[in-house]
Structure 1
Amino acid sequence: MKTKLIHFLLIFSCLWIFHCKPSPSSSEETLAALIPLLGASANASVCPKSTLPSDIFLANTVVSASANVSGFSDPKKAINGVCGAGELAGSLDVYALETTGAGASMVLSWGGRTVKNVPDSIDFIIYDNSFRISGDTNTYAMDPSVIQVSRDGSIYCGFNPSYTAGNINLLTSWTKFGGLRPVYYNMTTNPLSNEDLFSDAGGGFLLGGGDGFDLDNLDPNDPNDVSCDTTAANDIKTNGFKFVKITSASNVVNPATSTNFPWPPGSYNGSDIDGVVAREVQ
Protein backbone atom coordinates (compact mmCIF):
# COMPACT_ATOMS: atom_id res chain seq x y z
CA MET A 1 0.00 0.00 0.00
CA LYS A 2 2.78 2.43 0.88
CA THR A 3 4.54 1.71 -2.43
CA LYS A 4 1.32 2.29 -4.37
CA LEU A 5 0.68 5.51 -2.49
CA ILE A 6 4.16 6.86 -3.22
CA HIS A 7 3.75 5.88 -6.88
CA PHE A 8 0.42 7.70 -7.04
CA LEU A 9 1.84 10.83 -5.46
CA LEU A 10 4.71 10.91 -7.93
CA ILE A 11 2.31 10.65 -10.85
CA PHE A 12 -0.04 13.25 -9.34
CA SER A 13 2.81 15.68 -8.79
CA CYS A 14 3.93 15.33 -12.40
CA LEU A 15 0.41 15.90 -13.71
CA TRP A 16 -0.46 18.77 -11.39
CA ILE A 17 2.71 20.79 -11.53
CA PHE A 18 4.39 20.12 -14.86
CA HIS A 19 2.04 17.79 -16.74
CA CYS A 20 5.17 15.82 -17.49
CA LYS A 21 6.58 18.51 -19.77
CA PRO A 22 9.98 20.20 -19.74
CA SER A 23 10.22 22.61 -16.84
CA PRO A 24 10.69 26.33 -17.63
CA SER A 25 14.03 27.97 -17.04
CA SER A 26 12.90 30.31 -14.27
CA SER A 27 10.65 30.27 -11.21
CA GLU A 28 8.57 33.07 -12.73
CA GLU A 29 7.89 31.00 -15.81
CA THR A 30 7.11 27.99 -13.64
CA LEU A 31 4.40 29.95 -11.81
CA ALA A 32 3.06 31.28 -15.10
CA ALA A 33 2.69 27.74 -16.40
CA LEU A 34 1.35 26.31 -13.13
CA ILE A 35 -1.69 28.53 -12.65
CA PRO A 36 -3.42 27.61 -15.95
CA LEU A 37 -2.89 23.92 -15.20
CA LEU A 38 -5.64 24.24 -12.61
CA GLY A 39 -7.93 25.04 -15.51
CA ALA A 40 -6.65 22.04 -17.44
CA SER A 41 -7.53 19.80 -14.51
CA ALA A 42 -11.02 21.29 -14.39
CA ASN A 43 -11.49 20.82 -18.14
CA ALA A 44 -10.62 17.15 -17.76
CA SER A 45 -13.75 16.63 -15.66
CA VAL A 46 -16.14 18.00 -18.30
CA CYS A 47 -14.49 16.87 -21.53
CA PRO A 48 -14.99 14.87 -23.66
CA LYS A 49 -18.73 14.84 -24.25
CA SER A 50 -20.56 11.53 -24.08
CA THR A 51 -21.80 12.14 -27.64
CA LEU A 52 -19.25 13.38 -30.17
CA PRO A 53 -20.30 16.20 -32.51
CA SER A 54 -21.35 14.73 -35.85
CA ASP A 55 -19.78 17.53 -37.90
CA ILE A 56 -16.27 16.92 -36.52
CA PHE A 57 -14.52 14.17 -38.49
CA LEU A 58 -12.48 12.59 -35.72
CA ALA A 59 -10.30 9.54 -36.22
CA ASN A 60 -12.45 7.02 -34.34
CA THR A 61 -10.56 3.72 -34.46
CA VAL A 62 -7.34 2.64 -32.75
CA VAL A 63 -5.59 0.33 -35.21
CA SER A 64 -2.45 -0.20 -33.12
CA ALA A 65 -1.14 1.15 -29.82
CA SER A 66 1.25 -0.53 -27.37
CA ALA A 67 2.53 2.27 -25.12
CA ASN A 68 2.13 1.84 -21.36
CA VAL A 69 2.86 5.19 -19.76
CA SER A 70 1.50 5.27 -16.22
CA GLY A 71 -1.58 7.45 -15.98
CA PHE A 72 -1.91 7.89 -19.75
CA SER A 73 -2.15 4.32 -21.06
CA ASP A 74 -5.71 4.28 -22.42
CA PRO A 75 -5.54 4.57 -26.24
CA LYS A 76 -9.24 5.47 -26.36
CA LYS A 77 -8.17 8.92 -25.12
CA ALA A 78 -6.80 9.49 -28.63
CA ILE A 79 -10.22 9.01 -30.25
CA ASN A 80 -12.76 10.16 -27.63
CA GLY A 81 -12.71 13.83 -28.61
CA VAL A 82 -10.44 16.85 -28.39
CA CYS A 83 -10.11 18.50 -24.98
CA GLY A 84 -7.59 21.30 -25.46
CA ALA A 85 -6.71 23.55 -22.52
CA GLY A 86 -5.45 26.60 -24.42
CA GLU A 87 -2.22 28.50 -24.84
CA LEU A 88 -0.80 28.00 -21.36
CA ALA A 89 -1.84 24.47 -20.35
CA GLY A 90 -1.91 20.95 -21.74
CA SER A 91 -4.92 18.63 -21.77
CA LEU A 92 -4.93 15.63 -19.44
CA ASP A 93 -7.30 13.66 -21.70
CA VAL A 94 -4.52 12.17 -23.83
CA TYR A 95 -2.85 8.89 -24.73
CA ALA A 96 0.90 9.09 -24.16
CA LEU A 97 3.37 7.41 -26.48
CA GLU A 98 6.76 6.23 -25.29
CA THR A 99 9.97 7.92 -26.36
CA THR A 100 11.46 4.89 -28.16
CA GLY A 101 10.55 1.38 -29.23
CA ALA A 102 7.26 -0.10 -30.44
CA GLY A 103 5.33 1.99 -27.91
CA ALA A 104 6.54 5.21 -29.53
CA SER A 105 4.01 4.87 -32.38
CA MET A 106 0.27 4.50 -32.76
CA VAL A 107 -1.98 4.14 -35.80
CA LEU A 108 -5.50 5.57 -36.04
CA SER A 109 -8.19 5.37 -38.72
CA TRP A 110 -11.66 6.66 -39.51
CA GLY A 111 -13.27 3.23 -39.33
CA GLY A 112 -12.80 2.41 -43.01
CA ARG A 113 -13.57 5.88 -44.33
CA THR A 114 -11.08 7.82 -46.47
CA VAL A 115 -9.66 11.25 -45.67
CA LYS A 116 -9.83 13.31 -48.84
CA ASN A 117 -7.27 15.67 -50.30
CA VAL A 118 -9.14 18.98 -50.34
CA PRO A 119 -7.66 21.39 -52.94
CA ASP A 120 -5.71 24.34 -51.52
CA SER A 121 -6.38 23.31 -47.93
CA ILE A 122 -5.00 21.62 -44.86
CA ASP A 123 -6.49 18.12 -44.88
CA PHE A 124 -6.11 16.97 -41.27
CA ILE A 125 -4.99 18.25 -37.88
CA ILE A 126 -2.97 16.53 -35.16
CA TYR A 127 -3.88 17.56 -31.60
CA ASP A 128 -1.33 17.05 -28.81
CA ASN A 129 -0.94 19.09 -25.59
CA SER A 130 1.82 21.62 -26.15
CA PHE A 131 1.68 24.85 -24.17
CA ARG A 132 3.64 28.10 -24.00
CA ILE A 133 6.28 28.19 -21.26
CA SER A 134 7.54 31.78 -21.39
CA GLY A 135 6.61 35.28 -22.44
CA ASP A 136 8.08 34.52 -25.87
CA THR A 137 5.20 33.24 -28.00
CA ASN A 138 7.64 31.08 -29.93
CA THR A 139 8.74 29.02 -26.90
CA TYR A 140 6.68 25.95 -26.01
CA ALA A 141 6.75 22.75 -24.04
CA MET A 142 6.08 20.47 -26.97
CA ASP A 143 5.97 16.82 -27.99
CA PRO A 144 7.25 16.69 -31.60
CA SER A 145 5.79 13.78 -33.56
CA VAL A 146 6.49 12.43 -37.04
CA ILE A 147 3.31 12.01 -39.09
CA GLN A 148 2.77 9.46 -41.87
CA VAL A 149 -0.34 8.39 -43.78
CA SER A 150 -1.34 5.29 -45.72
CA ARG A 151 -4.11 3.95 -47.93
CA ASP A 152 -3.59 0.27 -47.14
CA GLY A 153 -2.00 0.27 -43.67
CA SER A 154 1.25 -1.03 -45.14
CA ILE A 155 2.82 1.65 -47.35
CA TYR A 156 3.22 4.88 -45.40
CA CYS A 157 4.26 8.25 -46.78
CA GLY A 158 5.36 11.23 -44.70
CA PHE A 159 6.19 14.91 -44.96
CA ASN A 160 10.00 14.85 -44.55
CA PRO A 161 10.14 16.87 -41.30
CA SER A 162 13.26 18.77 -40.30
CA TYR A 163 14.81 20.11 -37.09
CA THR A 164 17.17 23.08 -36.79
CA ALA A 165 19.62 22.63 -33.93
CA GLY A 166 19.41 25.25 -31.22
CA ASN A 167 16.77 25.96 -28.60
CA ILE A 168 14.76 22.76 -28.53
CA ASN A 169 11.64 24.57 -27.28
CA LEU A 170 11.52 27.09 -30.13
CA LEU A 171 8.59 26.49 -32.45
CA THR A 172 10.64 27.62 -35.43
CA SER A 173 13.22 24.90 -34.78
CA TRP A 174 10.72 22.26 -35.94
CA THR A 175 9.13 22.00 -39.39
CA LYS A 176 6.38 19.57 -40.53
CA PHE A 177 5.98 17.85 -37.15
CA GLY A 178 2.88 17.26 -35.07
CA GLY A 179 2.78 18.04 -31.35
CA LEU A 180 4.12 21.58 -31.67
CA ARG A 181 1.24 24.01 -31.18
CA PRO A 182 -1.24 24.41 -28.32
CA VAL A 183 -4.82 23.19 -28.66
CA TYR A 184 -7.54 25.81 -28.25
CA TYR A 185 -10.40 23.55 -29.36
CA ASN A 186 -12.30 21.96 -26.49
CA MET A 187 -15.51 20.13 -27.27
CA THR A 188 -17.14 21.40 -24.06
CA THR A 189 -15.62 24.74 -23.12
CA ASN A 190 -14.71 26.00 -26.60
CA PRO A 191 -16.87 24.20 -29.18
CA LEU A 192 -16.03 24.95 -32.80
CA SER A 193 -17.35 23.76 -36.16
CA ASN A 194 -15.26 21.66 -38.51
CA GLU A 195 -14.89 24.72 -40.73
CA ASP A 196 -13.67 26.74 -37.73
CA LEU A 197 -10.99 24.18 -36.93
CA PHE A 198 -9.44 24.58 -40.37
CA SER A 199 -9.56 28.38 -40.34
CA ASP A 200 -6.21 30.17 -40.48
CA ALA A 201 -5.63 32.30 -37.37
CA GLY A 202 -2.37 33.77 -38.69
CA GLY A 203 1.26 33.17 -37.78
CA GLY A 204 1.09 29.50 -38.72
CA PHE A 205 -1.70 28.81 -36.20
CA LEU A 206 -5.21 27.47 -36.74
CA LEU A 207 -8.28 28.82 -34.95
CA GLY A 208 -8.63 25.61 -32.94
CA GLY A 209 -4.89 25.10 -32.57
CA GLY A 210 -3.02 21.89 -33.33
CA ASP A 211 -0.78 21.16 -36.30
CA GLY A 212 -2.25 20.99 -39.79
CA PHE A 213 -1.03 18.85 -42.69
CA ASP A 214 -1.73 19.20 -46.41
CA LEU A 215 -1.54 15.98 -48.45
CA ASP A 216 -0.08 17.95 -51.34
CA ASN A 217 3.08 18.26 -49.20
CA LEU A 218 3.70 14.51 -48.98
CA ASP A 219 7.35 13.86 -49.84
CA PRO A 220 8.26 10.47 -51.38
CA ASN A 221 11.93 11.32 -50.78
CA ASP A 222 11.57 11.23 -46.98
CA PRO A 223 14.40 8.85 -45.99
CA ASN A 224 12.37 7.45 -43.10
CA ASP A 225 9.58 6.25 -45.40
CA VAL A 226 11.36 3.40 -47.16
CA SER A 227 8.06 1.89 -48.34
CA CYS A 228 6.94 5.12 -50.02
CA ASP A 229 7.76 6.15 -53.56
CA THR A 230 6.39 8.70 -56.02
CA THR A 231 3.64 6.33 -57.15
CA ALA A 232 2.42 5.71 -53.59
CA ALA A 233 2.58 9.40 -52.66
CA ASN A 234 0.67 10.44 -55.78
CA ASP A 235 -1.94 7.75 -55.09
CA ILE A 236 -2.58 9.25 -51.65
CA LYS A 237 -2.63 12.78 -53.03
CA THR A 238 -5.22 11.74 -55.61
CA ASN A 239 -7.35 9.27 -53.65
CA GLY A 240 -6.80 10.16 -50.00
CA PHE A 241 -5.74 7.97 -47.07
CA LYS A 242 -7.31 5.71 -44.43
CA PHE A 243 -4.59 5.40 -41.77
CA VAL A 244 -2.46 7.92 -39.90
CA LYS A 245 0.65 6.91 -37.96
CA ILE A 246 1.93 9.16 -35.18
CA THR A 247 5.46 8.53 -33.84
CA SER A 248 7.41 10.32 -31.13
CA ALA A 249 10.20 12.21 -32.94
CA SER A 250 12.72 10.74 -30.49
CA ASN A 251 12.15 7.36 -32.16
CA VAL A 252 12.88 8.63 -35.69
CA VAL A 253 16.27 9.21 -37.30
CA ASN A 254 17.08 12.78 -38.28
CA PRO A 255 18.64 12.42 -41.75
CA ALA A 256 20.69 15.57 -41.16
CA THR A 257 22.59 13.97 -38.26
CA SER A 258 22.00 10.21 -38.70
CA THR A 259 20.87 10.13 -35.06
CA ASN A 260 17.37 10.29 -33.64
CA PHE A 261 15.64 13.65 -33.40
CA PRO A 262 16.23 15.24 -29.98
CA TRP A 263 13.61 15.12 -27.26
CA PRO A 264 12.75 17.99 -24.90
CA PRO A 265 14.57 17.42 -21.59
CA GLY A 266 12.49 16.63 -18.53
CA SER A 267 9.66 14.89 -20.37
CA TYR A 268 9.30 11.33 -19.10
CA ASN A 269 7.18 10.09 -22.03
CA GLY A 270 6.75 10.67 -25.75
CA SER A 271 4.01 12.46 -27.68
CA ASP A 272 0.60 12.93 -26.01
CA ILE A 273 -2.25 12.34 -28.46
CA ASP A 274 -5.53 14.19 -27.91
CA GLY A 275 -7.07 13.45 -31.32
CA VAL A 276 -6.89 13.77 -35.10
CA VAL A 277 -9.52 15.58 -37.18
CA ALA A 278 -9.98 15.39 -40.96
CA ARG A 279 -11.41 18.20 -43.08
CA GLU A 280 -13.44 15.87 -45.31
CA VAL A 281 -14.03 12.12 -45.37
CA GLN A 282 -15.81 9.82 -47.77
Structure 2
Amino acid sequence: MQKSLKSKTLCLLFLLFIVSFSSCKKSSSASGEENLAALIPLLNAAASASNCPKSPLPSDILIATTVVSASAAVSAFSDSTKAVNGICGAGELAGSLDVYALDITGAGATMVLSWGGRTVKNVSDLDFVVYDNSFRISDDSNTYAMDPSVVQVSIDGTNYCGFNPSYSGANVNLVDSWTRFAGLRPVYYNMTTKPFSSEDLFINTGGSFLLGGGDGFDLDNLDPADPNDIGCDTTLANNIKLNGIKFIKITSASNVNNPATGNKFPWPPGSYNGSDIDGVVARELQ
Protein backbone atom coordinates (compact mmCIF):
# COMPACT_ATOMS: atom_id res chain seq x y z
CA MET A 1 0.00 0.00 0.00
CA GLN A 2 1.44 3.35 -1.01
CA LYS A 3 1.68 6.11 1.58
CA SER A 4 1.98 9.37 -0.35
CA LEU A 5 3.95 11.94 1.66
CA LYS A 6 2.60 14.55 -0.69
CA SER A 7 -0.97 13.70 0.30
CA LYS A 8 -3.55 16.32 1.17
CA THR A 9 -3.76 14.92 4.70
CA LEU A 10 -0.04 15.19 5.34
CA CYS A 11 0.08 18.66 3.84
CA LEU A 12 -2.49 19.88 6.33
CA LEU A 13 -0.53 18.34 9.19
CA PHE A 14 2.70 19.75 7.88
CA LEU A 15 1.20 23.23 7.69
CA LEU A 16 0.79 23.18 11.46
CA PHE A 17 4.56 22.85 11.82
CA ILE A 18 6.17 24.84 9.05
CA VAL A 19 3.37 26.84 7.33
CA SER A 20 3.33 25.04 3.98
CA PHE A 21 4.54 22.13 1.88
CA SER A 22 5.19 21.80 -1.82
CA SER A 23 3.42 19.71 -4.44
CA CYS A 24 0.73 18.18 -2.23
CA LYS A 25 -0.86 15.06 -3.62
CA LYS A 26 -3.87 13.06 -2.59
CA SER A 27 -3.22 10.06 -0.41
CA SER A 28 -3.99 6.51 -1.33
CA SER A 29 -5.86 4.51 1.29
CA ALA A 30 -3.23 4.94 3.99
CA SER A 31 -4.59 5.18 7.52
CA GLY A 32 -4.22 8.22 9.77
CA GLU A 33 -1.70 6.33 11.89
CA GLU A 34 0.36 5.45 8.82
CA ASN A 35 0.27 9.06 7.63
CA LEU A 36 1.39 10.33 11.03
CA ALA A 37 4.22 7.80 11.13
CA ALA A 38 5.27 8.86 7.65
CA LEU A 39 5.26 12.51 8.73
CA ILE A 40 8.10 12.03 11.24
CA PRO A 41 10.96 11.50 8.75
CA LEU A 42 9.50 14.28 6.60
CA LEU A 43 9.66 16.75 9.47
CA ASN A 44 13.17 15.66 10.37
CA ALA A 45 14.35 16.03 6.80
CA ALA A 46 12.74 19.45 6.46
CA ALA A 47 14.39 20.59 9.67
CA SER A 48 17.81 19.39 8.55
CA ALA A 49 17.38 21.21 5.23
CA SER A 50 16.22 24.46 6.81
CA ASN A 51 19.74 25.91 6.96
CA CYS A 52 20.20 25.42 3.23
CA PRO A 53 21.33 26.95 0.98
CA LYS A 54 24.70 27.97 2.29
CA SER A 55 26.32 31.28 1.46
CA PRO A 56 28.51 31.76 -0.42
CA LEU A 57 27.80 28.92 -2.82
CA PRO A 58 30.59 26.36 -3.32
CA SER A 59 32.81 27.68 -6.08
CA ASP A 60 33.17 24.31 -7.79
CA ILE A 61 29.40 23.76 -8.15
CA LEU A 62 28.40 25.28 -11.48
CA ILE A 63 24.79 26.11 -10.72
CA ALA A 64 22.53 28.04 -13.09
CA THR A 65 22.55 31.50 -11.53
CA THR A 66 20.08 33.55 -13.56
CA VAL A 67 16.30 33.40 -13.90
CA VAL A 68 15.62 34.46 -17.48
CA SER A 69 11.87 34.02 -17.28
CA ALA A 70 9.41 32.71 -14.70
CA SER A 71 5.75 33.62 -14.20
CA ALA A 72 4.23 31.00 -11.89
CA ALA A 73 2.52 32.21 -8.74
CA VAL A 74 2.04 29.14 -6.57
CA SER A 75 1.29 30.24 -3.02
CA ALA A 76 4.33 29.98 -0.70
CA PHE A 77 6.56 28.76 -3.54
CA SER A 78 6.52 31.72 -5.95
CA ASP A 79 10.06 32.99 -5.30
CA SER A 80 11.90 32.15 -8.52
CA THR A 81 15.30 32.81 -6.90
CA LYS A 82 14.80 29.48 -5.10
CA ALA A 83 15.66 27.86 -8.43
CA VAL A 84 19.10 29.49 -8.54
CA ASN A 85 20.14 29.89 -4.89
CA GLY A 86 21.58 26.43 -4.29
CA ILE A 87 20.63 22.75 -4.08
CA CYS A 88 18.88 21.76 -0.86
CA GLY A 89 17.81 18.14 -1.28
CA ALA A 90 16.06 16.35 1.59
CA GLY A 91 16.93 12.78 0.61
CA GLU A 92 15.11 9.62 -0.42
CA LEU A 93 12.01 10.05 1.72
CA ALA A 94 11.27 13.79 1.67
CA GLY A 95 11.20 16.73 -0.72
CA SER A 96 12.99 20.03 -0.33
CA LEU A 97 11.00 23.17 0.46
CA ASP A 98 13.64 25.45 -1.05
CA VAL A 99 12.06 25.27 -4.51
CA TYR A 100 10.24 27.35 -7.09
CA ALA A 101 6.95 25.71 -8.06
CA LEU A 102 5.74 25.85 -11.65
CA ASP A 103 2.09 25.88 -12.62
CA ILE A 104 0.45 22.76 -14.02
CA THR A 105 -0.52 24.45 -17.29
CA GLY A 106 -0.19 27.81 -19.02
CA ALA A 107 2.71 30.26 -19.26
CA GLY A 108 3.57 29.69 -15.60
CA ALA A 109 4.31 26.02 -16.29
CA THR A 110 7.65 27.00 -17.85
CA MET A 111 10.79 28.69 -16.60
CA VAL A 112 14.09 29.49 -18.30
CA LEU A 113 17.45 29.60 -16.51
CA SER A 114 20.96 30.50 -17.61
CA TRP A 115 24.49 30.61 -16.27
CA GLY A 116 24.76 34.38 -16.56
CA GLY A 117 26.10 34.38 -20.10
CA ARG A 118 28.46 31.45 -19.68
CA THR A 119 28.23 28.32 -21.81
CA VAL A 120 27.64 24.77 -20.65
CA LYS A 121 30.09 22.63 -22.60
CA ASN A 122 29.25 19.32 -24.21
CA VAL A 123 31.66 16.96 -22.50
CA SER A 124 31.85 13.21 -22.15
CA ASP A 125 28.70 11.64 -20.64
CA LEU A 126 26.25 13.82 -18.65
CA ASP A 127 26.50 17.60 -19.10
CA PHE A 128 24.05 18.90 -16.49
CA VAL A 129 21.72 17.72 -13.72
CA VAL A 130 18.23 19.06 -12.97
CA TYR A 131 17.11 18.95 -9.33
CA ASP A 132 13.45 18.78 -8.27
CA ASN A 133 12.03 17.33 -5.03
CA SER A 134 10.83 13.82 -5.81
CA PHE A 135 10.84 11.22 -3.03
CA ARG A 136 10.03 7.54 -2.58
CA ILE A 137 6.46 6.71 -1.54
CA SER A 138 6.50 2.92 -1.15
CA ASP A 139 8.78 0.00 -0.39
CA ASP A 140 9.24 -0.36 -4.12
CA SER A 141 12.36 1.72 -4.78
CA ASN A 142 11.04 2.54 -8.25
CA THR A 143 7.90 4.29 -6.97
CA TYR A 144 8.15 8.01 -6.29
CA ALA A 145 6.04 11.10 -5.81
CA MET A 146 7.33 12.87 -8.89
CA ASP A 147 6.97 16.15 -10.76
CA PRO A 148 8.01 15.17 -14.30
CA SER A 149 9.30 18.06 -16.39
CA VAL A 150 10.34 18.41 -20.00
CA VAL A 151 13.81 19.84 -20.58
CA GLN A 152 14.89 21.86 -23.61
CA VAL A 153 18.15 23.70 -24.26
CA SER A 154 19.32 26.60 -26.38
CA ILE A 155 22.44 28.46 -27.35
CA ASP A 156 20.69 31.70 -28.33
CA GLY A 157 17.64 31.80 -26.04
CA THR A 158 15.27 31.64 -29.01
CA ASN A 159 15.66 28.28 -30.71
CA TYR A 160 15.38 25.23 -28.47
CA CYS A 161 16.04 21.53 -28.84
CA GLY A 162 14.84 18.79 -26.50
CA PHE A 163 15.36 15.13 -25.75
CA ASN A 164 12.11 13.65 -27.11
CA PRO A 165 10.68 12.43 -23.78
CA SER A 166 8.23 9.52 -23.69
CA TYR A 167 5.75 8.05 -21.21
CA SER A 168 4.90 4.34 -21.22
CA GLY A 169 1.52 4.72 -19.52
CA ALA A 170 2.26 1.96 -17.03
CA ASN A 171 2.07 3.97 -13.79
CA VAL A 172 2.41 7.70 -13.22
CA ASN A 173 4.52 7.09 -10.08
CA LEU A 174 6.97 4.60 -11.61
CA VAL A 175 10.32 6.07 -12.62
CA ASP A 176 10.54 3.52 -15.43
CA SER A 177 7.32 4.88 -16.94
CA TRP A 178 9.09 8.12 -17.82
CA THR A 179 12.06 8.44 -20.18
CA ARG A 180 14.17 11.57 -20.70
CA PHE A 181 12.29 13.74 -18.19
CA ALA A 182 13.54 15.70 -15.18
CA GLY A 183 11.74 15.70 -11.82
CA LEU A 184 11.82 11.92 -11.46
CA ARG A 185 14.53 11.06 -8.96
CA PRO A 186 15.08 12.26 -5.39
CA VAL A 187 17.78 14.75 -4.44
CA TYR A 188 20.40 13.58 -1.95
CA TYR A 189 22.69 16.55 -2.45
CA ASN A 190 22.30 19.27 0.15
CA MET A 191 24.87 22.07 0.13
CA THR A 192 24.71 22.37 3.92
CA THR A 193 24.06 18.93 5.36
CA LYS A 194 25.30 16.58 2.61
CA PRO A 195 27.87 18.35 0.45
CA PHE A 196 29.43 16.76 -2.63
CA SER A 197 32.12 17.83 -5.04
CA SER A 198 31.16 18.67 -8.61
CA GLU A 199 32.70 15.40 -9.75
CA ASP A 200 30.64 13.46 -7.20
CA LEU A 201 27.37 14.85 -8.56
CA PHE A 202 27.90 13.11 -11.90
CA ILE A 203 28.67 9.64 -10.54
CA ASN A 204 26.06 7.10 -11.66
CA THR A 205 25.12 4.65 -8.91
CA GLY A 206 22.92 2.49 -11.16
CA GLY A 207 19.63 2.80 -13.04
CA SER A 208 20.39 6.41 -14.00
CA PHE A 209 20.43 7.36 -10.31
CA LEU A 210 23.24 9.75 -9.44
CA LEU A 211 25.22 9.98 -6.22
CA GLY A 212 23.77 13.41 -5.49
CA GLY A 213 20.37 12.58 -6.99
CA GLY A 214 18.47 14.54 -9.60
CA ASP A 215 18.16 13.74 -13.30
CA GLY A 216 21.13 14.02 -15.63
CA PHE A 217 21.14 14.99 -19.32
CA ASP A 218 23.70 14.49 -22.08
CA LEU A 219 23.68 17.00 -24.94
CA ASP A 220 24.71 14.22 -27.30
CA ASN A 221 21.22 12.76 -26.77
CA LEU A 222 19.40 15.78 -28.22
CA ASP A 223 16.79 14.64 -30.72
CA PRO A 224 15.91 17.04 -33.55
CA ALA A 225 12.96 14.74 -34.37
CA ASP A 226 11.17 15.67 -31.14
CA PRO A 227 7.72 16.82 -32.34
CA ASN A 228 7.52 19.33 -29.48
CA ASP A 229 10.63 21.13 -30.74
CA ILE A 230 9.34 22.67 -33.93
CA GLY A 231 12.29 25.07 -34.15
CA CYS A 232 14.88 22.32 -33.82
CA ASP A 233 16.50 20.52 -36.72
CA THR A 234 19.67 18.54 -37.28
CA THR A 235 21.71 21.67 -37.98
CA LEU A 236 20.67 23.34 -34.72
CA ALA A 237 21.07 20.17 -32.68
CA ASN A 238 24.57 19.62 -34.08
CA ASN A 239 25.46 23.26 -33.40
CA ILE A 240 24.45 22.82 -29.76
CA LYS A 241 26.36 19.57 -29.48
CA LEU A 242 29.45 21.30 -30.86
CA ASN A 243 29.23 24.65 -29.07
CA GLY A 244 27.22 23.93 -25.92
CA ILE A 245 24.22 25.73 -24.41
CA LYS A 246 23.52 28.98 -22.57
CA PHE A 247 19.85 28.46 -21.66
CA ILE A 248 17.73 25.69 -20.22
CA LYS A 249 13.94 25.64 -20.39
CA ILE A 250 12.03 23.51 -17.88
CA THR A 251 8.31 22.84 -18.35
CA SER A 252 5.85 20.86 -16.27
CA ALA A 253 5.11 17.72 -18.30
CA SER A 254 1.40 18.39 -17.82
CA ASN A 255 1.76 21.35 -20.18
CA VAL A 256 3.47 19.41 -22.98
CA ASN A 257 1.83 17.28 -25.66
CA ASN A 258 2.55 13.57 -25.62
CA PRO A 259 3.02 12.75 -29.33
CA ALA A 260 1.99 9.16 -28.67
CA THR A 261 -1.53 10.20 -27.62
CA GLY A 262 -2.04 13.75 -28.86
CA ASN A 263 -2.90 14.77 -25.29
CA LYS A 264 -0.84 16.39 -22.55
CA PHE A 265 1.42 14.11 -20.56
CA PRO A 266 -0.37 12.83 -17.42
CA TRP A 267 0.09 14.53 -14.09
CA PRO A 268 -0.01 12.87 -10.65
CA PRO A 269 -3.62 12.98 -9.39
CA GLY A 270 -4.38 15.59 -6.76
CA SER A 271 -1.33 17.77 -7.39
CA TYR A 272 -1.82 21.43 -6.62
CA ASN A 273 1.03 22.72 -8.77
CA GLY A 274 3.52 21.66 -11.41
CA SER A 275 7.21 20.84 -11.17
CA ASP A 276 9.26 22.09 -8.20
CA ILE A 277 12.65 23.41 -9.31
CA ASP A 278 15.54 23.30 -6.84
CA GLY A 279 18.27 24.11 -9.37
CA VAL A 280 20.42 22.98 -12.29
CA VAL A 281 24.14 22.16 -12.12
CA ALA A 282 26.46 22.00 -15.13
CA ARG A 283 29.46 19.72 -15.36
CA GLU A 284 31.73 22.20 -17.12
CA LEU A 285 31.43 25.85 -18.20
CA GLN A 286 33.38 28.05 -20.55
TM-score category (smaller protein): over 0.9
What letter corresponds to residue 201 of structure 1 in structure 2? T
Select 1:174's aligned residue among 173, 178, 184.
Answer: 178
1:27 to partner: Cα distance: 2.0
Q: 2:225 aligns with which of 216, 221, 226?
A: 221
TM-score normalised over the length of structure 2: 0.91
Distance 1:140 1:260 in 2: 20
Cα deviation, residue 22, structure 1? 2.6
Give ranges in structure 1 of 5+ residues lacking alignment. Answer: 1-8
**AA of the residue aligned to 1:112:** G
* Aligned equivalents of 1:123, 1:15: Cα separation in 2: 35
Q: Distance in 1 between matches of 2:205 and 2:16?
A: 34
Kindly tell me: are residues 152 and 37 of structure 1, through their superposed partners in 2, closer, same or farther at Cα, counting changes over 3 Å? same
Q: Is the 8 A contact 2:15 2:21 kept in 1?
A: no
Q: Which residue of 1 aligns with 2:279?
A: 275
Q: 1:4: which partner in 2?
A: none
- What amino acid is aligned across from residue 50 of structure 1 in structure 2? S
Q: CA deviation at 1:108?
A: 0.2
In the alignment, which residue of structure 2 is the partner of 1:76? 81
SS of the residue corresponding to residue 148 of structure 1 reads strand
> For 1:152 and 1:254, how far apart are their aligned partners in 2?
26
Q: Any conservation in 2 of the 1:33–1:133 contact (CA below 8 Å)? A: no
Which of 133, 148, 153 in structure 2 is aligned with 1:149? 153
Give the superposition deviation at 1:167: 1.4
Size of the alignment, in residue pairs? 274
Q: Deviations over 1:115-169 (max 9, x none)?
A: 00002x1000000000000000010000000000000000000000000112110
1:27 aligned onto 2:35: no
For the Cα contact (< 8 Å) 1:58–1:278, is it kept in 2?
A: yes
Counterpart position of 2:53: 48
Assess if the C-alpha contact under 8 Å between 1:18 and 1:34 holds in 2: no
Structure 1 vs Structure 2 CA RMSD: 2.0
| One-letter identity of the residue aligned with 2:101 | A
Q: Is the 8 A contact 1:33 1:89 kept in 2?
A: no
Counterpart of 2:52, as a letter, is: C
| Structure-1-length-normalised TM-score | 0.92
Kindly state the Cα deviation for residue 17 of structure 1 after the two structures are TM-superposed. Answer: 8.7
**Percentage identity across paired residues of the two chains:** 74
In 2, are the aligned partners of 1:81 and 1:274 still within 8 Å (CA)?
A: yes
Q: Following the alignment from structure 2 to structure 1, what is the Cα–Cα distance between the partners of residues 235 and 37?
A: 49
Structure 1 residue identity aligned to 2:90: A
Report the equivalent of 1:193: 197
- SS of the equivalent of 1:27 reads coil
**Which segments of structure 1 move beyond 6 Å, counting only runs of 4 or more?**
14-18
